A and B are shown apart, each in its own frame.
Chain A
Amino acid sequence: GENVEQHPSTLSVQEGDSAVIKCTYSDSASNYFPWYKQELGKRPQLIIDIRSNVGEKKDQRIAVTLNKTAKHFSLHITETQPEDSAVYFCAASDHNQGGKLIFGQGTELSVKP
């Protein structure tokens, strides 16, 4: 089955700097890759996603890139703000296998003012 590895487990940046979180997946059939942000005590919130027919997607300060050949995808946050502090999870799924999500281990991002 699918396995998703996520790095780093913790990341600390200064406000205004960029943050990058990386994930690798094992199943070449996976075709959908979402990113979730989870603040303490809250539910995971979908912040951006990418499908296997696209190499990059941007939404304001966040972007995701996908390298299908290498089977890895990354989340990029620019101009970080203290409110970006949270745990971020990547996930992978195969739409043809019912869409179940396999999550990475999570990255705790801390943005210091």
Chain B
Amino acid sequence: SAVISQKPSRDICQRGTSLTIQCQVDSQVTMMFWYRQQPGQSLTLIATANQGSEATYESGFVIDKFPISRPNLTFSTLTVSNMSPEDSSIYLCSVAFLGGDEQYFGPGTRLTVT
């Protein structure tokens, strides 16, 4: 199975600043997704990271706040922009392989905004 890593694993940031989270997979994947998990809550899909084109955002999430890049089949970044304390959450990437529905999650990035 693939190894999925995220950087950073955690961070504490000041409000108004931005943080870029990286997701790296050790093999090529078809689909990459970004989710948010607020403390004690379920997972909410932010967007689908499309390779070589703009990400597809879910209702309630916009590109200006959560710009996403996916330059190749093994790497994606999510930026949380102009952060506020409400952005404190765990951000997880997930991947799916060609022909498969199964999604596998990265270890997550725990973000605290003060």
- A112 CB–B CB distance under 8 Å: no
B contacts with A: majority SS: strand
Q: Which residues of A contact B58 (CB under 8 A)?
A: 100
Q: A43-B92, A43-B108, A99-B31 are in contact. Are A49 and B101 (CB under 8 A)?
A: yes
From 13 to 54 in chain B, residues with beta carbon under 8 angstroms from any chain A beta carbon are 31, 33, 41-45, 48
Number of interface residues of B (CB under 8 A): 22
Q: A1-B59, A103-B42, A105-B42 are in contact. Are A34 and B102 (CB under 8 A)?
A: yes
Residue of A nearest to B93 (CB): A43
Picked from A45, A99, A103, the residue with its CB within 8 Å of the CB of B101 is A99
Interface band, chain A = 20 to 34
| Contact status A101-B108, CB under 8 Å | no
| Contact status B56-A46, CB under 8 Å | no
- B114 CB–A CB distance under 8 Å: no
From 85 to 113 in chain A, residues with beta carbon under 8 angstroms from any chain B beta carbon are 89, 93, 95, 98-106
A interface residues with partner B (beta carbon < 8 Å): 1, 32, 34, 36, 42-46, 49, 51, 89, 93, 95, 98-106
